[in-house]
């Protein structure tokens, strides 16, 4: 036999061997194709469910924020909920449920035109940033909504496979979870900062300051506080006389604080204790005017002897405790002012408030005051 030539028997043996290999590998190849197609479809459906969960959780948390904005009334927003009511609010779960379902119904996943969220898959509670979990609550100031969107035997039916049925897998179950929470206030609306005093960031973040007493010695003392004139053109060169004029305008409601955004807005600060503001009863008159409002806007409490309000927070890392120039505002805190001491003390007595929800966008530093417009945290 010449080189390069094969006998008929040899060729038959080769063809037979290939046929055997193909026969063995074909089911495996079909299985891989089936897995690739169906796993891809499963992944797409899960991504679509995640979009549904994200949007629904944000909608539910936004309704929660609106309840705080509108004193629990979904019709009118004339008065915000007071701090005391926020701490014991038995949340309107129907409003949260509607906020979640109204979005889910309008979305599809895996060919299902409308997604239904089970009542047990809507969790209202408080988000733990450190542990990354939500703790269900009823009347302890809920701040977060968690939603599970699913396609399984309990809701919306499992997805039907394309090829995996040849392996006995006719359906697949998939779900997605999202949590939206009210987070640190990142902006203050016009009029929301009705006292021209700011607190330094270092003191606030050094320890847990919630409900801690503080004495505001503007520009001195243990708590680093400083006078400012916002960014108002009329008061751009602050001194004692201009500060007194501004505070009198506040008292007479002839001046409102400007809209303020964390890390964008700069306030003009002035150092000095400005004792004349206490000698002339300027601060005392402002306190007496505000503490009795109890309107959930300028005065966020129901106690006519105290004044709960928001203050700006400045970063003292570079500018120090007593800035005398324009400094960026980095966040917002809430304080309840309990009294104003005249000379020789010339101090403002207050307490830090935490877990207070104020109207505005979240996403800022958590300094105790949360915005009513939520963000995704999971």
Q: Are 221 and 214 in contact (CB under 8 A)?
A: no
Give the C-alpha separation, 128 to 364, whole Å: 16
Q: Are 260 and 187 in contact (CB under 8 A)?
A: yes
pLDDT digits (tens, 9 = 90+) for 96-128: 999 999 999 999 888 888 999 999 999 999 998
Give the C-alpha separation, 294 to 79, whole Å: 10
Taking the model in full, what pTM does it have? Answer: 0.81
Burial status of residue 285 (CB atoms within 10 A of its CB: 0-12, 13-18, 19 or more) = middle
φ/ψ of 321, rounded to 5, equals -80, -25
Tokens of 325: 């120039």
Give the C-alpha separation, 215 to 108, whole Å: 55
Give the C-alpha separation, 194 to 186, whole Å: 17
Tell me the average pLDDT of the chain: 84
Q: Are 58 and 179 in contact (CB under 8 A)?
A: no
- The radius of gyration of the chain's CA atoms, rounded to the nearest angstrom, is 31
Give the C-alpha separation, 357 to 332, whole Å: 11
Q: What is the pLDDT along the chain (378 residues), one digit of tens a residue?
A: 455 554 555 545 555 666 666 566 566 666 666 677 778 888 899 999 999 999 999 999 999 999 888 877 777 777 778 888 888 888 888 889 999 999 999 998 888 889 999 999 999 999 988 888 999 887 778 999 999 999 999 999 998 887 777 777 788 899 999 999 999 999 999 999 999 999 888 888 877 888 888 888 765 556 678 888 888 776 666 677 888 888 899 899 888 899 999 999 999 888 777 888 888 889 999 999 999 998 888 898 889 999 999 999 998 876 667 778 888 999 999 999 999 998 888 889 999 988 888 888 999 998 989 999 999 998
Q: Which residues pair with residue 270 across a beta bridge?
A: 227
| Largest interatomic CA distance in the chain | 123
Q: Is 134 helix (H, G, I), strand (E, B) or coil?
A: strand
- Backbone angle region of 240, left / alpha / beta, with phi > 0 → left and psi within -120 to 50 → alpha: alpha
Burial status of residue 343 (CB atoms within 10 A of its CB: 0-12, 13-18, 19 or more) = exposed
Q: H/E element holding 10?
A: helix 8-69
DSSP letter for each residue of 38-87: HHHHHHHHHHHHHHHHHHHHHHHHHHHHHHHHTTT-SS--SSPPPHHHHH
């Amino acid at each position: 036999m010449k080189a390069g030539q094969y006998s008929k028997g040899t060729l038959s043996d080769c063809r037979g061997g290939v046929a055997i290999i193909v026969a063995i590998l074909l089911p495996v190849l079909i299985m891989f194709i089936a897995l690739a197609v169906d796993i891809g479809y499963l992944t797409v459906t899960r991504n679509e469910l995640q979009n549904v969960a994200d949007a629904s959780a944000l909608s539910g948390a936004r309704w929660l924020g609106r309840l705080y904005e509108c004193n629990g009334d979904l019709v009118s927003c004339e008065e915000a909920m007071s701090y005391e009511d926020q701490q014991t609010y038995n949340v309107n779960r129907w409003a949260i449920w509607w906020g979640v379902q109204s979005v889910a119904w309008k979305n599809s996943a895996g060919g299902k035109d409308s997604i239904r969220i089970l009542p047990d898959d809507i969790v209202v509670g408080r988000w733990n940033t450190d542990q990354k979990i939500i703790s269900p609550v009823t009347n302890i100031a809920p701040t977060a909504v968690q939603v599970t969107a699913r396609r399984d035997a309990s809701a919306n039916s499992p997805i039907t496979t394309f090829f995996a049925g040849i392996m006995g897998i006719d359906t697949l179950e998939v779900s997605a979870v999202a949590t939206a929470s009210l987070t640190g206030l990142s902006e203050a609306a016009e009029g929301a900062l009705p006292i021209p005093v700011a607190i330094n960031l270092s003191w606030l973040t050094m320890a847990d300051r919630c409900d801690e007493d503080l004495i505001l010695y503007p520009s001195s003392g243990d708590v680093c506080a400083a006078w400012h004139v916002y960014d108002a053109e009329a008061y751009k060169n602050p001194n004692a006389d201009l500060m007194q004029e501004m505070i009198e305008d506040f008292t007479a409601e002839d001046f409102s604080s400007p809209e303020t955004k964390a890390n964008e807005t700069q306030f003009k600060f002035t150092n000095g204790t400005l004792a004349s503001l206490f000698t002339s009863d300027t601060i005392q008159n402002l306190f007496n005017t505000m503490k009795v409002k109890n309107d959930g806007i300028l005065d966020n409490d129901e106690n006519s002897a105290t004044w709960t309000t928001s203050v700006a927070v400045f970063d003292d890392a570079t500018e120090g405790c007593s800035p005398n120039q324009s400094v960026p505002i980095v966040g917002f805190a809430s304080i309840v002012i309990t009294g104003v001491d005249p000379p020789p003390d010339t101090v403002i007595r207050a307490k830090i408030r935490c877990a207070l929800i104020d109207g505005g966008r979240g996403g800022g530093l958590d300094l105790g005051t949360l915005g009513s417009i939520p963000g995704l945290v999971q």
